[in-house]
């Protein structure tokens, strides 16, 4: 198929573009490179060096013999989006091109507005362009498990069966997002469902868990094909942060009690999930939701896994509890269904098989690039945002007790 990957310069977009190209698809990569500019603004950077899009695409053609066409397009520009869709006439579009950091969206009012405008306007421009020019195109949109929040009932895959006052209906699962970023994803989901219901479009909403790892078969073929590794308090994921803290000799900073539970998956499973969705398109007018994760852990469980992995190499690591800068339940029920992608043939990788070989190895290889001052949580959601640097974890070991 001819597949456009939007946000192709990003952590997941680039490995997805490579994977789909390796499977024989005609891949068009689209990005406006804003993620690199956000790094400059926030003083952050990838632990793993990343090449320019031009260098990446050239190296991929040299290594694989396959070409990826690269376009610099901002999805907020309606005319540019329409021209792109008319020119390439995609059969499927994989949409990663959004501001994806919850902490970034909570820094200030301007950051929150930027997040909503970037994500919603870009997605709406895309929906209209696909509707008007390639209405049969399959839109595969990256959502997030964070749309659901942490309800005290099981989380279904997008829809829930409701019995109320003797009546029955199947409705979109209620959403309870925890940040301005997650709110933007909820709005996206409603816009996609509307487009399918009213205009007979095809869309798959992938409510993804937290992704870890940087290694895919394609990225591993040359250093210039590497993807990002974010570990800081704005862009980094909790597992990456713990691995970096352990490597530089800092305690692992668990927010509050550490009972916050989420779904997780290996980056290799992410690219496979995208491929499975593309190969199994929904019917016209069908809006479907896949919960895209393979395992679930609390943040304290993750810290313990990192501690044990380091201990296997004779290295001691401490776990300290620090004040939670987020407004969230620190202990809660969490049971989310994630069957649809398994039914399509996903064969998951487990964190226990990946942590040492892939994640910790990536950190050790690039440890000289760690910016220690950026590791801790950088945004205080409880006080309305604002950049700050948390106190050292060692001084806050008894925070939960207080």
Residue 343 to residue 273: CA distance in whole angstroms: 11
DSSP state of 284: T
294 is catalytic: no
Instruction: Give me the helices (H) in 215-283, please.
Output: 238-247, 267-279
Residue 357 to residue 402: CA distance in whole angstroms: 38
Residue 238 to residue 217: CA distance in whole angstroms: 24
3-state secondary structure of 141: strand
| Given 115, 148, 173, 185, the catalytic residue | 185
181 is catalytic: yes
| Given 11, 104, 173, 181, the catalytic residue | 181
Which tokens is 40 given? 């400059």
How many residues appear in the chain? 402
Residue 213 to residue 201: CA distance in whole angstroms: 33
Residue 103 to residue 381: CA distance in whole angstroms: 8
Instruction: Give me the helices (H) in 28-121, please.
Output: 34-42, 53-64, 78-88, 102-105, 109-116
| Given 123, 144, 214, 216, the catalytic residue | 144
Q: How many helices (H) and strands (E) does the chain have?
A: 14, 14
For 212, phi then psi, to 5°, come to -130, 160
- Angle at Cα 372 formed by Cα 369 and Cα 373, nearest 5°? 130
Cβ-contact 323, 256 below 8 angstroms: yes
Which tokens is 297 given? 């852990």
For 207, phi then psi, to 5°, come to -80, 95
Which tokens is 338 given? 């994630």
User: Which residues are annotated as catalytic?
Assistant: 144, 181, 185
């Amino acid at each position: 198929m001819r597949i456009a990957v939007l946000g192709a310069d990003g952590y997941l977009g680039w490995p997805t573009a490579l994977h789909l190209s390796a499977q024989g698809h005609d891949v068009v990569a689209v990005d406006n490179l804003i993620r690199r500019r956000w790094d400059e603004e926030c003083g952050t950077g990838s632990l793993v060096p990343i090449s320019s899009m031009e260098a990446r695409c050239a190296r991929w053609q040299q290594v694989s013999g396959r070409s990826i066409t690269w376009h610099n397009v901002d999805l907020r520009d309606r005319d540019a989006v329409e021209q792109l869709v008319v020119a390439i006439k995609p059969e499927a579009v994989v949409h990663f091109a959004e501001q994806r950091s919850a902490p970034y969206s909570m820094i200030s009012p301007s950051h929150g507005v930027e997040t909503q405008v970037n994500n919603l306007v870009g997605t709406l421009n895309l929906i209209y362009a696909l509707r008007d020019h390639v209405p049969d195109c399959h839109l595969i949109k990256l959502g997030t498990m964070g749309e659901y929040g942490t309800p005290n009932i099981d989380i279904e895959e997008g829809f829930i069966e409701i019995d109320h006052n003797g009546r029955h209906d199947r409705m979109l699962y209620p959403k309870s997002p925890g940040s301005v970023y997650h709110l933007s994803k909820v709005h996206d989901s409603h816009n996609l469902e509307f487009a399918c219901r009213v205009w007979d479009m095809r869309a798959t909403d992938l409510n993804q868990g937290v992704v870890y790892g940087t290694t895919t078969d394609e990225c591993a073929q040359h250093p210039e094909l590497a993807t990002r590794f974010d570990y800081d308090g704005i862009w980094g994921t909790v597992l990456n942060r713990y691995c970096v803290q352990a490597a530089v000799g800092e305690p692992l900073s668990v927010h509050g009690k550490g009972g916050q539970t989420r779904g997780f998956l290996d980056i290799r499973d992410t690219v496979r999930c995208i491929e499975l969705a593309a190969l199994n398109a929904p019917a016209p007018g069908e809006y479907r939701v896949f919960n895209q994760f393979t395992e679930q852990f609390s943040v304290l469980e993750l810290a313990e896994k990192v501690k044990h992995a380091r201990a296997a190499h004779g290295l001691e690591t401490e776990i300290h509890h620090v004040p939670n800068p987020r407004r969230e339940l620190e202990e809660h029920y969490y049971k989310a269904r994630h069957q649809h992608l398994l039914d399509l043939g996903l064969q998951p990788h487990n964190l226990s098989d990946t942590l040492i070989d892939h994640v910790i190895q990536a950190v050790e290889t690039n440890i000289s690039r760690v910016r220690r001052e950026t590791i801790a949580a950088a945004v205080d959601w409880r006080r309305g945002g604002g950049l700050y640097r948390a106190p050292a974890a060692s001084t806050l070991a008894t925070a939960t007790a207080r």
